[in-house]
């Protein structure tokens, strides 16, 4: 494992972060019109809309935790472990607290799952804080902070062995093992842990999610400075792309052709394995092609990367509010999907721009939301 003394910004990470967070708007919008339960639903759900979830959900959050591990490892050349932990605490916990207290409650209040439908909003908000607090989409911030905290406690104790562990991990991920070992690991999680624990977004009970996402985070920490790993994923980029296309096609056909409740146990296991193949091969494909082509600054990516935390924190509430008023007018059907996405993106852009200007003229507002003038990293 080589630790470079000089820091070189990875523009591919910036691009992948924007892509991963950006797809959240499309993903969450699709949940309104698909067949899975969500906060607010169209009266005419479509299984075709489920394909958006199939295409993005398996890899997106895993990639974000992997990127976070990469960035954490690269920061070690410039900051101490304690400094990294302090910086991430400011960047993650403040937006998380604001999100849970102020951004999430309107979603719950307007949703079909409101536990206190007869209360006014003020009465609901007080009851929500006392007995019904939910993380909803801001769970990522809390989970990532926990993983960084755990890493910051463990890393100093293994510092002398870290290089050897990292080089061993990179050496294992050569040739077919680049795909075989991670896919076996991910498949076992889906077959053994997921049926028991599910993915519940409750910090103390989310065993499957913690094992999955903490593993991704630690893989990023280990592999960031391993040149052999980056060379291998570049060499295998066409193989990973082909695997991603083939596995997604198989998943898409299954989703469209057969309702999930009609899948036999054997077929369900096969689907979980194929989903794991798609998850890992898509991650490798995105890493390889982004590193190959995103080699210089891009103004659009830089601007969005600086605003991405704002988009992430507010987008789901904007979606739910838009969907609520559309549903009241009986307009929440599949034809509303694109307009809802556009309205949400534009609203987030306006909020992010107002926040950016506020941070320039009143820096304390930027600090409050966990975003200063520098790009906010996951």
The residue whose two tokens read 């490892």 is 73
pLDDT of residue 159: 84
| pLDDT above 90: percentage of residues in the chain | 81
pLDDT of residue 3: 44
pLDDT of residue 371: 45
- Lowest mean pLDDT, pick from 210-219, 271-280, 329-338: 329-338
Q: Is the per-residue pLDDT at 4 higher than 70?
A: no
pLDDT of residue 361: 75
Q: What is the pTM of this model?
A: 0.93
pLDDT of residue 373: 41
Q: Is the per-residue pLDDT at 375 higher than 50?
A: no
Residues 1-26 have a mean pLDDT of 80
Residues 347-369 have a mean pLDDT of 76
pLDDT of residue 2: 42
363 band by pLDDT with thresholds 50, 70 and 90: low
Helix axes 227-235, 139-172, angle to 10 degrees: 90
User: What's the chain's average pLDDT?
Assistant: 91
Q: Is the model more confident about 374 or about 228?
A: 228
Residues 198-202 have a mean pLDDT of 90
Contact between 39 and 105 under an 8 Å Cβ cutoff? The reply is: no
Give the CA dihedral 100, 314, 72, 370, nearest 10 degrees.
Answer: -70
pLDDT of residue 160: 85
Contact between 39 and 107 under an 8 Å Cβ cutoff? The reply is: yes
pLDDT of residue 376: 41
pLDDT tens for each residue of 288-323: 999 999 999 999 999 999 899 999 999 999 999 999
Contact between 106 and 317 under an 8 Å Cβ cutoff? The reply is: yes
pLDDT of residue 372: 44
Closest to 358 (Cα-Cα) out of 307, 311, 284: 307
Which tokens hold the place of 224?
């960031």
77 band by pLDDT with thresholds 50, 70 and 90: confident
Using DSSP, state whether 179 is helix, strand or coil. helix
pLDDT of residue 374: 46
Residues 163-168 have a mean pLDDT of 94
5 band by pLDDT with thresholds 50, 70 and 90: very low
In whole angstroms, what is the distance from residue 43 CA to residue 333 CA?
7
- Sequence-distant contacts of 105-111: CB under 8 A, at least 24 apart: 106/317, 106/320, 106/321, 107/39, 107/136, 107/316, 107/317, 107/320, 108/39, 108/132, 108/134, 108/136, 110/39, 110/40, 110/320, 110/321, 110/324, 111/39, 111/40, 111/320
In whole angstroms, what is the distance from residue 357 CA to residue 345 CA?
18
Q: Is the per-residue pLDDT at 224 higher than 70?
A: yes
């Amino acid at each position: 494992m080589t630790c470079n003394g000089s820091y070189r910004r990875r523009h591919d990470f910036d691009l992948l972060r924007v892509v991963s967070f950006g797809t959240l708007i499309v993903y969450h919008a699709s949940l309104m019109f698909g067949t899975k339960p969500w906060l607010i639903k169209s009266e005419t759900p479509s299984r075709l809309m489920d394909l958006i979830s199939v295409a993005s959900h398996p890899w997106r959050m895993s990639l974000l935790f992997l990127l976070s591990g990469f960035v954490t490892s690269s920061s070690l050349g410039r900051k101490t472990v304690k400094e990294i932990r302090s910086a991430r605490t400011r960047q993650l916990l403040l937006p998380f607290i604001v999100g849970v207290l102020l951004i999430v409650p309107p979603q719950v209040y307007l949703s079909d799952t409101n536990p206190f439908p007869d209360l006014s909003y003020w009465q609901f908000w007080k009851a929500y804080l006392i007995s019904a607090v939910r993380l909803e989409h801001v769970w990522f911030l809390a989970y990532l902070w926990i993983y960084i905290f755990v890493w910051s406690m463990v890393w100093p104790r293994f510092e002398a062995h870290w290089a050897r562990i990292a080089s061993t991990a990179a050496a294992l991920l050569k040739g077919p093992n680049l795909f075989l070992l991670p896919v076996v690991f991910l498949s076992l999680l889906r077959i053994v842990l997921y049926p028991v624990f599910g993915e519940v977004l409750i910090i103390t009970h989310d065993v499957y999610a913690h094992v999955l996402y903490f593993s991704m985070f630690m893989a990023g920490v280990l592999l960031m400075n391993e040149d052999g790993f980056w060379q291998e994923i570049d060499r295998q980029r066409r193989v990973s792309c082909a695997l991603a296309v083939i596995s997604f096609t198989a998943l898409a056909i299954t989703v469209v052709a057969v309702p999930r409740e009609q899948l036999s146990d054997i077929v369900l296991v096969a689907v979980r394995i194929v989903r794991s193949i798609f998850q890992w091969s898509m991650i490798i494909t995105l890493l390889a092609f982004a590193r190959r082509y995103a080699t210089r600054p891009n103004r659009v990516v830089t601007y969005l990367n600086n605003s991405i935390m704002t988009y992430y924190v507010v987008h789901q509430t904007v979606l739910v509010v838009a969907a609520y008023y559309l549903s009241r007018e009986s307009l929440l059907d599949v034809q509303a999907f694109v307009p809802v996405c556009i309205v949400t993106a534009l609203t987030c852009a306006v909020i992010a721009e107002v926040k950016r200007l506020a941070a320039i003229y009143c820096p304390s507002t930027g600090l409050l939301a966990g975003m200063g003038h520098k790009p906010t990293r996951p």
